[in-house]
């Protein structure tokens, strides 16, 4: 079993900055961190805000190469590249290899509230993985904590907090994830954490231990072959 590692990646809506490395938690190997900035469109918004959005937008990026809002990199374990169709993330091994990515606090449209909704479109291209959202990430020196709201390509789901990760809800929901794009959403509201996939509520958990204000995407490989996925249309709103 590989030791778990987390990547936090972000950059400007222009040429992507190279990620830097630093340790994250006692159990994690490294953290990659870059910081996004907004375009002239509006601070925290790059590309078209998804249609039908009525909630207050905190951050929005289509994640294409026109809006490289997270960052491009390629190392021994992972690679991520903004392209014309979105943000392609490759985990080159596993199981348990991870990537967590999202905007820095300063890059939101306004002050980040405790309650957020995070959603995006994802298209699994290769391998098996858990895909979902991270929320309430708190960074303190060389350590971090965050929640993960995840659903796997095999239909397994998990809500957890840590590290060390505490399972808050888990199970199987077959037939929800499909070939092609999937819409993933996580609500972190009060003590309630709720995961949705393709408009269906998958799981709800209650927890009050974590209180950070950073949010984003998450991917974890489920087998030795790793996983590749394209993320699009990252939207963070105040519900």
pLDDT tops 80 at residue 16 = no
Tell me the two tokens of residue 69: 């809002």
pLDDT in tens, 40-95: 456 799 988 998 999 999 999 999 999 888 889 999 999 999 999 999 999 999 99
**Residue 29 confidence class, pLDDT cut points 50, 70, 90:** very low
The shares of helix, strand and coil residues in the chain, as percent rounded to the nearest 5, are 0, 50, 50
Predicted TM-score of the model (pTM): 0.83
| Cis peptide preceding 22, ω within 30 of 0 | no
CA distance 127 to 222: 8
Unique residue bearing structure tokens 């590989």:
2
pLDDT in tens, 166-207: 999 999 999 999 988 999 999 999 999 999 999 999 999 999
Say if strands 56-61 and 98-101 run parallel, antiparallel, or are unpaired. Answer: unpaired
CA distance 229 to 234: 14
Which residue intervals of 57-162 are DSSP H helices? Answer: none
Considering only CA atoms, which of 233, 232, 196, 236 is closest in space to residue 89? 232
- 195 contacts 12 by C-beta, under 8 angstroms: no
Strands (E), 45-128: 45-46, 56-61, 73-74, 78-83, 86-91, 98-101, 116-127
Q: Which fold has domain 20-238?
A: Jelly Rolls (2.60.120)
Mean of pLDDT over the chain = 84
Which residue intervals of 51-188 are DSSP H helices? Answer: none
Model pLDDT, residue 23: 32
Domain boundaries, the chain: 20-238
């Amino acid at each position: 079993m590989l030791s778990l590692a987390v990547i936090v990646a972000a950059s400007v809506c222009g040429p992507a900055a190279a990620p830097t490395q630093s340790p994250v938690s006692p159990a994690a190997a490294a953290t990659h961190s870059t910081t996004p900035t907004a375009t002239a469109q509006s601070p925290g918004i790059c590309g078209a805000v998804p249609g039908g959005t009525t909630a207050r937008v905190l951050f929005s990026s289509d994640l294409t190469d026109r809006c490289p809002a997270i960052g491009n990199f390629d190392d021994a374990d992972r690679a991520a590249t903004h392209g014309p169709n979105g943000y392609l993330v490759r985990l080159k091994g596993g199981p348990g290899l991870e990537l967590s990515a999202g905007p820095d606090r300063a890059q939101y449209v306004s002050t980040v509230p405790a309650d957020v909704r995070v959603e995006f479109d994802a298209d699994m291209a290769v391998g098996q993985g858990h895909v979902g959202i991270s929320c309430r990430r708190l960074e303190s020196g060389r350590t971090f904590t965050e929640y993960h709201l995840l659903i796997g390509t095999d239909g397994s789901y998990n809500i957890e907090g840590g590290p060390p990760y505490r399972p808050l809800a888990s199970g199987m929901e077959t037939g929800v994830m499909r070939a092609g794009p999937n819409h993933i959403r996580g609500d972190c509201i009060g003590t309630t954490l709720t995961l949705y996939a393709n408009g269906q509520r998958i799981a709800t958990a209650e927890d009050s231990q974590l209180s950070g204000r950073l949010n984003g995407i998450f991917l974890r490989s489920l087998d030795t072959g790793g996983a590749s996925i394209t993320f699009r249309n990252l939207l963070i709103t105040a519900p």
